[in-house]
A and B are shown apart, each in its own frame.
Chain A
Amino acid sequence: MIRAILWKEWHEHRSRFASYWLTLNVPILIVGLVIAFSKGARLPFADLSNATIWKYLPLSLLESFLLDTVLTVAAGYLAVSIFSHEIEDRSLFFVFEQPVPRKQYVAIKFLNGAFQVVAATCFAALLAPAVVYLMMLFSGKVTLAGSGGAFAAVVAVSARTAMWCSLTALMVFTFSALVSALVPRFWLAATASLVLLALFGFFGGDFFDMPFPTGEPLSVSANISAQWITISRALTPAELAGFAHWKALPLCTAVLVAAVFSVATALLYDRKELK
């Protein structure tokens, strides 16, 4: 029974899942393609050394920042496309006519979607530093022994941000599912999701524990013509270590919010009528 529902979900939405995975990795794909096809973009890598790794490798954390902000819309879109489609074409009643509790069907659907959201988010958050570090290694002047510490520190931060980004995406996913179960319109779900995120940002403060570095000011500037980014100073290992810590209260709150939205959606599904 569960296999049949998972089979249906995969066959019905695999292109949407693939698009979602692709979208989350678009920033790093763009960087990769620019470097692959532009000789100018490759030049600065030749100037990198073990000493400058601490300065430039944390730039890959920009992917986590995008995952936690603009790319959450992708999670909203994924939810709308997998939930509203079957409501609009009424094909969910084909499932409802099978001897399976409606709530169980929605639960499996949610878990499957949530798995894709969390897996894709974690993958994207960890892929960015891995790809950037590999490119730095290929530049020739960076050695594993000399830069391993910086890579480990950045990956550790990425892993922590992956958790936060996954939770943000999960909240947007469940909220969009709830909105689309009510009114299956993407723009409405996207708007509602953005409002939810804004509310979290406004009222949550350092809810996600992603503070700006303290101490000596840090500035990042991009020189488009030289295709390079200038950073005023390197993040210290202590600053990196203090970034995006997991805290029980916000973690539990985010999980609870996602759970409440999921249950509300299940209740709405339970009351769906074939008109």
Chain B
Amino acid sequence: MNVIEAREITRVFGKTRAVDAVSLDIPQGAVCGLLGPNGAGKSTLLKLLVGHLRPTSGSVAVFGRSVSKPGPALWARTGYVSQQRYLPGWMTSAECLRFARAFHSNWDEAKVAHMVERLAFPMDAKVRDLSRGHYVRLQITLALGHNPELILLDEPTSGLDPVGRHELLTLLIEEITLPGRTIVFSSQLVEDIERMADTVVIMDTGRIVANGPIESLKAAGGAASSLEQVFFEYVNRRQA
């Protein structure tokens, strides 16, 4: 069963086609990494998948329902971490978590307490005062607190120090092992994708240039090729 089904979605901003005729099926239980250079359309694609943006053309269905009007049913089963900073600056971390808890009947208090302790972000600090690292940790906790079946993460490790990045990746890998989880995350770091994902979608200038299991893509590139080589090959081929 596919959790995400995108058909020929295009999103145009002015004269720019940020996402261009993308079709994508992501089955339940998959861990899919979106890989691409800056401006490839990864963030736009993730926003289209959660309904934060509407496609100019094409359609997106998540859990079998169109996300043209994202409703409570979608957000009850989805956790999303954006690259943009829009949590209310006047709230403290604790208030953000309390606010989110009020909406989720399946909010996992024990899990959240564990994550807060492990990720060690200040609970009493105002969101506007949080560093990038602490902000991402709070976002991740908010996104995972209700045990969502679908988790979408937009470059969650960008701007984090090596320790923070390691801690976050470890936590996400633990999340992957939980049954029924489907994860889609974008990154510019090939090693992050290789460490976490089982399938990879390579994007460039709004289009999907390669899509498949990591091992298949590597095998197609030759016995000695790494994912990084495969990535450069596809991107260079397209730019040529």
Which A residues contact B (CB, under 8 angstroms)?
A: 1, 3-4, 7-8, 11-12, 86, 89-91, 93-94, 96-101, 270-271, 273-275
Contact = CB atoms under 8 A, between A and B. Distances in A.
B86 A274 contact: yes
B89 A89 contact: yes
B86 A99 contact: no
Contacts of B232: none
Contact of A4 (B50, B69, B102): B102
Contacts of B104: 98-99
B103 A94 contact: no
B136 to A, nearest CB: 15
Interface in B160-214: none
Q: What secondary structure prevails in chain A residues at the interface with B?
A: loop
A274 B89 contact: no
Interface of B: 13, 47, 50, 52-54, 69-76, 80, 82, 84, 86-91, 95-96, 98-100, 102-104
Nearest to A92: B86
Contact of B82 (A7, A89, A271, A274): A274
Contact of A274 (B13, B52, B91, B100): B52
Contacts of B88: 8, 12, 86, 89, 91, 94
Contacts of A275: 13, 53
15 contacts: A12-B90, A86-B88, A89-B89, A90-B84, A97-B50, A97-B80, A98-B75, A98-B100, A98-B103, A99-B76, A100-B75, A270-B69, A273-B52, A273-B53, A274-B53
A274 B99 contact: no
Contacts of A96: 52, 70, 75
A8 B95 CA distance: 9
B42 to A, nearest CB: 15
B87 to A, nearest CB: 5
A8, A86, A94, A275 — most chain B CB neighbours (10 Å): A94
A66 to B, nearest CB: 32
B103 A89 contact: no
Given A8-B99, A94-B88, A99 B73 contact: yes
A251 to B, nearest CB: 34
B52 A93 contact: yes
